Amino acid sequence: MTRLWGGRFASGPSDAMAALSESVQFDWVLAPYDIAQSKAHARVLHNAGLLSQAELDTMIAGLTELNSRVESGDFLPTPADEDVHTALERGLIETIGTEVGGKLRAGRSRNDQVSTDLRMFLRNSARGIATHVGHLQNALLTQAKNHVDSAAPGFTHLQHAQPVSFGHELAKHIHAFARDIERLQDWDKRAAKSPMGSGALAGSSLKLDPVAVATELGFDGIVENSIDGVSDRDFVAEFLFSTALIGVHLSRLGEEICLWASREFGWATLDDAWSTGSSIMPQKKNPDVAELARGKSGRLIGHVTSVLTVLKGLPFAYNRDLQEDKESVIDAIHTLQLVLPAMTGCVGTLVFDTAKMAESAPQGFALATDIAEWLVQQGVPFNHAHEVAGACVKVAEAEGIELDELSDEQFSAIDPALTGDVRSVLTVAGSLASRSTVNGTAPDSVRLQLANVEGVLAAQESWANAKPHAV
């Protein structure tokens, strides 16, 4: 049995102690990163004169062989291995013997090792998440392009507010997810620092070269303070905030899909492959993908809360509490790997009832603002125009008609500035076309916005495709 400590102990740990301590059942995902890091560490040991050329060659060959055995599943951790680092040291010593294998641990500690491994794992995983987000954005983009000219009611307070292009409505989600990827890119600048060389907390006397290790491993630089190097988990908390916000964005999209697919809205039909039935009600077709996306945002938010709580008030430097960081990030990544492809499939196959949306677009006096803005263009101050448009709503509501059905006499009785010409803006198409600010809902503006965001998606896709750590 390999244990990375024990000289000063008369007995081994009790079973319950070992069970509590063990992390190998989840930290095994770090194995390829730990091996890559060991190779880089072996090279600096050699350059510091602590490993001969022959020993280095043996070590690198042994680590390469161990890596293949890990990849093929031929080498697996056992419950007796406390963690991934212990299991891999056992594997190396089994492969090349203790004479050379036992030299690898010099000058490093699991404290700097684990933080380095986790940064590498998360940096590559961030690209994987960005790729999945990109697929969802592309599904939204295709739908948005097809619905630029489809009018729909736009909401505030879940009440009809003003008509919008449905493409504009769909595209808002693309922008939220683009910010999520941008957030990961920004996070990556801070995560790209290697803590190697920190040792247990104070650095090393062995003339190691942390910059060489960092460069070989694909980092941009090193953490400058060894105590910070082993205690900092900001990169975990920030990563988890980013995944929680992706979860929140997925949940808001999910909520919209649930509403759109409801009988009351009747705007969207779910594809059979992306919905489920009921065990008792034969007619049911439920938006489970959207609901699970909404529900799973809860655990993503829980993970960031959990890690912040572990970090709060923790004394410096390393404490075993920090082992609690890993299950949260592993689950966050796994959760997004499940949800994002399903949401992509669900969104890509939604069929929208554009006639129903268009019919509903002007309802609820959604063109009242158009009356007010028409009056402003006639020189009426907005505060008065707002009152006048409100009075139009009052009359129309009392008569059970829509705004464009008010007669010329009714308009002029409400206010002399109001003439029948106002009907020119009381159409949905006119209302949409008039909102032509660069970020507005006019279909021509939306087409430009979609072309711009498509460029952003392409740039983010190339970032996602370039993994910083080769494993």
By CB under 6 A, name the binding residues for ligand ARG.
Answer: 23, 27, 83, 110-111, 114, 318, 320, 322-323
Residue 33, burial from CB neighbour count under 10 angstroms (0-12, 13-18, 19+): buried
Calculate the alpha carbon distances from 45 to 62, 105, 106, 203, 421 in Å.
Answer: 16, 10, 8, 14, 85
Q: Which is nearer to ligand ARG, 27 or 256 (CB)?
A: 27
In the bound complex, what is the minimum distance in angstroms from residue 320's beta carbon to ligand ARG? Answer: 6
Q: Which is nearer to ligand ARG, 33 or 318 (CB)?
A: 318
Catalytic residues: 157, 278
In the bound complex, what is the minimum distance in angstroms from residue 84's beta carbon to ligand ARG? Answer: 8
In the bound complex, what is the minimum distance in angstroms from residue 53's beta carbon to ligand ARG? Answer: 31
Q: Which is nearer to ligand ARG, 114 or 367 (CB)?
A: 114
In the bound complex, what is the minimum distance in angstroms from residue 85's beta carbon to ligand ARG? Answer: 6
In the bound complex, what is the minimum distance in angstroms from residue 93's beta carbon to ligand ARG? Answer: 19
Q: Which is nearer to ligand ARG, 137 or 323 (CB)?
A: 323
Q: Which is nearer to ligand ARG, 239 or 318 (CB)?
A: 318
In the bound complex, what is the minimum distance in angstroms from residue 246's beta carbon to ligand ARG? Answer: 25
Q: Which is nearer to ligand ARG, 323 or 445 (CB)?
A: 323
Q: Which is nearer to ligand ARG, 111 or 150 (CB)?
A: 111
In the bound complex, what is the minimum distance in angstroms from residue 189's beta carbon to ligand ARG? Answer: 24
